[in-house]
Amino acid sequence: MPFVDAATATRKSYDAIVVGSGAGGGQMAYSLSMSGARVLMLEAGRKYDPLLETPMFQTPEMAPLRGSGTPEKPFGFYDATVDGGWQVPGEPYVQASTDPAKRFEWWRARMLGGRTNHWGRISLRNGPYDFKPRSRDGLGFDWPIAYQDMAPYYDKVEMLIGIYGTNEGLENTPDSPAGVLMPPPKPIVSDLLIKKYSGKLGIPTIACHRAVLTQRMDWENLPAKLHPGNPSAQAIIADDMKRRSACIWSTPCGRGCSIRANYQSTTVHLPPALATGRLDIVTDAMAAEVTIAKDGRASGVRFVDKRSGTSMQVSGRVIVLAASACETVRILLNSTSPLFPQGVANSNGKVGKYLMDTVGSDMAAQIPALENLPPLNEEGATGGAMYVPWWNYKAHKAGALGFPRGYHIEFFGGKRMPEAFHFAGSEWLTGGSYGSALKADMRRYYGSMVYFSGRGEMIPNEQSFCEIDPHVKDRWGIPVLRFHWQWSEHETRQAAHMQKTFAELVDAMGGRLQKPAEKDGAKAISPGGSIIHEVGGAMMGDDPQTSVVNKWCQAWDVKNLFVADGSPLPSNADKNPTLTIMANAWRVADHILDRMQRKEL
């Protein structure tokens, strides 16, 4: 496999250098290499192979602390993030304020495939409203493209990676073309109970869309739809699809997947891209800056080889930054030169501005109707088989809610493999029982808990941004980011509404809340960065005075520099952003290829 060392990469010239190997970088490298371009991928983390490293079939009692989270592994011992987290040794970042409400916590995954190894795999399309939010309510920014521009790429990404779900014909929750989605898994008991009572409240509960294979891929028909007129690419992806197995519902997706049943860049994008022979990958390559030639074009990328600590440089016709939203911003701002003293692509001072995360609020409840159920195998779709899409568009239009943007609801419950968190803090139910009484209580309550998470849209504001700290550098000598953060009343009121909705659902089911619903939205809302959905910082737009890149995610200031992660997104809809990042990266890749063929890049 063409993993190369740093020194080898410096001796070659590439059509494109892609910084980052996650959703945007993986999709970009796949699309370019499958169409004939020679690509170098730079990844700051170590090489990671989920086929060999995923802890399949390992149960909680086989892990320290029964698999519970620790500061080093906040999502549990088995989580696929082998290196990374909100704090990475030797790679600090700075908070501009000591006020907890104004802190932004930055999650990084230092490994091949980035966050795609860890994520929840919820794959929701932005709807038509989500591309033109300012036109609807006068807040934030419109995208310079419409849903119709992105829809063909949503189709292709869904066919490539494999998405289960259903078409429901709901407002601003787009359907996929016939034959694109795989059938969803069967709901578990708690899902069906929530669906029953949410329906009585006028709240729709439908099959979630997740990047997990519920059946084998259609390797006979999909390749021609993905790569029309490209028999070489069709043969490669057909062969690769044959090697992916349908999910056997045995291991939580957050661990990774050694049978390649769920989407990770390392299991879906990179294997076929490597099979072309046109992709080289350098791991442990910490990108420091984009280098600029005297004519103002991007000439390459300077990076630090983490193995040796040596600064090196690679060259290419096109540079694509897909290092994750904030890391891309850091690279752009650190890329200073006589032509760009404020950082490349930052002549208007907009790089780093309008950072957004998803609005989050959570609730736990116990449902007596789920007590003492017979033993059930409810491992199922660990990220959720069902969810609640936003349903209150008419109330928004009427101005009846007090906040302008919506949210969706994720929920889970059931009798999954017992872990420590199932029983920790159960005194509110048991009254502090112990001995035989505690065992009886655990049997009674196990499987009767349900957990709700609201995930909503943040409107970009001028108080939420990141910049280069003038004093602090990481262990590689690269200046680090300093974060400024502020939720507005738009978001805090939305979080309070989430709590109210959760409480109404629990009450309808005859349940009881672990904690009372929080009426103060400022207390109900999750901290900035904690949902790990940050986007923005290199916004796309139609005006070079107010945006960083154009509708093709091409820097206004440097025509052969592109961004392909979450940084160019002008808004952060209530839909999880990963699917949109991939669809946009494929769209941008097609534009780059067209410009290359016309000798314009």
Residue 372 has pLDDT above 90, yes or no: no
Looking at the structure, do residues 177 and 265 belong to the same domain, yes or no?
Answer: no
**Residue 477 within any structural domain of the chain:** no
Residue 244: CATH number of its domain: 3.50.50.60
Q: How far apart are CA 356 and CA 431, in angstroms?
A: 41
**Residue 73 within any structural domain of the chain:** no
Tokens 């009692």, residue located: 61
Chain segment 14-30, per-residue pLDDT in tens: 999 999 999 999 999 99
**Residue 448 within any structural domain of the chain:** yes
**Would you call 578 helix, strand, or coil by DSSP?**
helix
Q: What is the pLDDT of residue 395?
A: 94
pTM equals 0.97
Looking at the structure, do residues 291 and 343 belong to the same domain, yes or no?
Answer: yes
Residue 441 has pLDDT above 90, yes or no: no
Chain segment 278-313, per-residue pLDDT in tens: 999 999 999 999 999 999 999 999 999 999 999 999
Residue 378 or residue 31, greater confidence: 31
Q: What mean pLDDT value characterizes the chain? A: 95
Looking at the structure, do residues 120 and 155 belong to the same domain, yes or no?
Answer: yes
Classify residue 95 as exposed, middle or buried by CB count within 10 Å of its CB (0-12, 13-18, 19+).
middle
Joined together, the tokens standing for residue 461 give: 């504001």
Where does the pLDDT of residue 402 fall: very low under 50, low under 70, confident under 90, or very high at 90 and above?
very high
Looking at the structure, do residues 342 and 230 belong to the same domain, yes or no?
Answer: yes
Q: Please give the average per-residue pLDDT across 488-504, as a whole number.
A: 98
**Residue 476 within any structural domain of the chain:** no
**Residue 188 within any structural domain of the chain:** yes
Q: What is the pLDDT of residue 422?
A: 58
Residues 547/350, Cβ–Cβ less than 8 Å: yes
Q: What is the pLDDT of residue 411?
A: 95
- Percent residues over pLDDT 90 in the chain: 87
Looking at the structure, do residues 136 and 184 belong to the same domain, yes or no?
Answer: no
Q: What is the pLDDT of residue 373?
A: 84
Q: What is the pLDDT of residue 383?
A: 65
Residue 1 has pLDDT above 60, yes or no: no
Where does the pLDDT of residue 419 fall: very low under 50, low under 70, confident under 90, or very high at 90 and above?
low
Residue 60 or residue 537, greater confidence: 537
- Name the amino acid, one letter, at 444: R
Q: What is the pLDDT of residue 380?
A: 66
Q: Which residues form the domain of 301?
A: 1-55+108-165+212-347+540-601
Chain segment 551-577, per-residue pLDDT in tens: 999 999 999 999 999 999 999 999 999
Where does the pLDDT of residue 427 fall: very low under 50, low under 70, confident under 90, or very high at 90 and above?
confident
- Name the amino acid, one letter, at 177: P
Name beta bridge partners: 410.
387, 453
Domain count, the chain: 2
C-alpha pair distances (Å), 451 with each of 118, 311, 448, 503, 529: 20, 47, 10, 11, 20
Q: What is the pLDDT of residue 420?
A: 58
Residue 143 has pLDDT above 90, yes or no: yes
Q: Please give the average per-residue pLDDT across 369-391, as a whole number.
A: 84
**Would you call 58 helix, strand, or coil by DSSP?**
coil
Residue 2 has pLDDT above 90, yes or no: no
Q: Please give the average per-residue pLDDT across 137-141, as a whole number.
A: 97
Looking at the structure, do residues 337 and 428 belong to the same domain, yes or no?
Answer: no
Q: What is the pLDDT of residue 421?
A: 54
Looking at the structure, do residues 129 and 27 belong to the same domain, yes or no?
Answer: yes
Q: What is the pLDDT of residue 72?
A: 86
Looking at the structure, do residues 314 and 440 belong to the same domain, yes or no?
Answer: no
Looking at the structure, do residues 318 and 402 belong to the same domain, yes or no?
Answer: no
Q: Please give the average per-residue pLDDT across 366-387, as a whole number.
A: 83
Looking at the structure, do residues 114 and 177 belong to the same domain, yes or no?
Answer: no
Q: What is the pLDDT of residue 201?
A: 96
Q: Please give the average per-residue pLDDT across 115-128, as a whole number.
A: 95
Q: What is the pLDDT of residue 573?
A: 98
Looking at the structure, do residues 442 and 573 belong to the same domain, yes or no?
Answer: no
Residues 31/54, Cβ–Cβ less than 8 Å: no
Q: What is the pLDDT of residue 417?
A: 75
How do the residues of the chain divide into helix, strand and coil, expressed in percent and rounded to 5? 30, 20, 50
Residue 221 has pLDDT above 70, yes or no: yes
Q: What is the pLDDT of residue 468?
A: 98
Q: Please give the average per-residue pLDDT across 382-401, as a whole number.
A: 91
Q: What is the pLDDT of residue 595?
A: 97
Q: What is the pLDDT of residue 67?
A: 87
Where does the pLDDT of residue 180 fall: very low under 50, low under 70, confident under 90, or very high at 90 and above?
very high
Looking at the structure, do residues 389 and 447 belong to the same domain, yes or no?
Answer: yes
Residues 174/390, Cβ–Cβ less than 8 Å: no
Residue 364: CATH number of its domain: 3.30.410
Where does the pLDDT of residue 423 fall: very low under 50, low under 70, confident under 90, or very high at 90 and above?
low
Q: How far apart are CA 585 and CA 572, in angstroms?
A: 16
Residue 219 or residue 70, greater confidence: 219
**Residue 37 within any structural domain of the chain:** yes
Range with the poorest average pLDDT among 58-62, 115-119, 198-202, 335-339: 58-62
User: Quick one: which of 404, 406, 412, 410 has its CA closest to 359?
Assistant: 406
Where does the pLDDT of residue 425 fall: very low under 50, low under 70, confident under 90, or very high at 90 and above?
confident
For every residue of 148-203, DSSP letters joined together read: HHHHHHHHHHHHHH--B-----BTTBPPPPTTTSBPPPPP-HHHHHHHHHHHHTT-
Q: What is the pLDDT of residue 265?
A: 98
Q: Please give the average per-residue pLDDT across 398-416, as a whole number.
A: 93
In 10 A of CB 250, how many CB atoms?
Answer: 12
Chain segment 252-269, per-residue pLDDT in tens: 899 999 999 999 999 999
**Residue 481 within any structural domain of the chain:** no
**Residue 398 within any structural domain of the chain:** yes
